[in-house]
Amino acid sequence: MRKALTALFLVFVVSAPLRAELKYTMRMEMKKSDTAAAANTNPMLGMMGEQMMKQMLPNGSTEIIYIVGEKGTRMEFKQAAMGQAEGAVNIAKPDGTLYVVDPTNKTYWKTTAQATSDTLKAAGLVPEVTAKKTGQTDTVIGIACDVVAFDWKMPLPIPEAARASLPPDFPTTLTMNGDSCTTSQYSKYVDMIARGAGGMLAAMGFDKVAQGGLIMRQTMQMMGYEMKSVVTSISEEAVDPTIFDIPADYKEVPAPGAPK
């Protein structure tokens, strides 16, 4: 009997799928660009860039911890960034449901990747993106990656009736360019990300920038500012699966801008 139980146990261990998640930390920094192009930036775009910087990275930098697995993609903001408070958590489920969690106040609101994508399109926020691999390679924390150059352009949704009253130098298009370095080493996790937030990423054109890989570093030039992102640590490890769930004592609140 003991041998039979031991044999069954070994069969179970061998046949059971190994469950692990991808955990990595991305550091982001933004500063005024010192390139010649920045000197020629439209003053109106310069002001818009400054306001965007304050919204995206109010402290000038942040670290975001990503955990990707079968249960979803989790992002934890170590400092305030992209409209998220310090300590905020975003969770994208495989079915496309997105949760924005505030651990400080024990609240959350939810939407879907499709709804977010539809909202952007309805507002006329549809970017044009071109991206291609340059043939160059690099290494980030020991991981080889391919360099991808990209250009991103998005017309501002300004009503035709309002265009005639705008100043001659008022910007009608946002532009951004830069390069990424992507790796195919963790392709199965890229597929997991796509299942949850892929529609939203595609709506903003960032699926083309990633070229089907995981972005290890990225530099973007926009409106007189430069934003750099780089993965500072990465590992595959098992995590507590409940970190992808909303705690039972958290209260759901309306999404920002939702009708009351």
Nearest to 185 by CA among 218, 221, 144: 144
7 inside domain? no
194 inside domain? yes
Confidence of residue 246 (pLDDT cuts 50, 70, 90): very high
**pTM, rounded to two decimals:** 0.81
The structural domain count of the chain equals: 1
120 inside domain? yes
182 inside domain? yes
Residue-averaged pLDDT of the chain: 82
Instruction: State the residue range of the domain holding 222.
Output: 20-237
How many angstroms from the chain centroid is the CA of residue 230? 13
* CATH code of the domain in which 119 resides: 2.50.20
CA trace torsion 74, 96, 215, 255 (10° rounding): -60
Identify the pLDDT of residue 32.
83
55 inside domain? yes
pLDDT in tens, 37-89: 554 556 666 676 677 777 778 888 999 999 999 999 999 999 988 888 899 99
pLDDT at 116 over 70: yes
Q: Give the span between the Cα atoms of 256 and 189, in whole angstroms.
A: 30
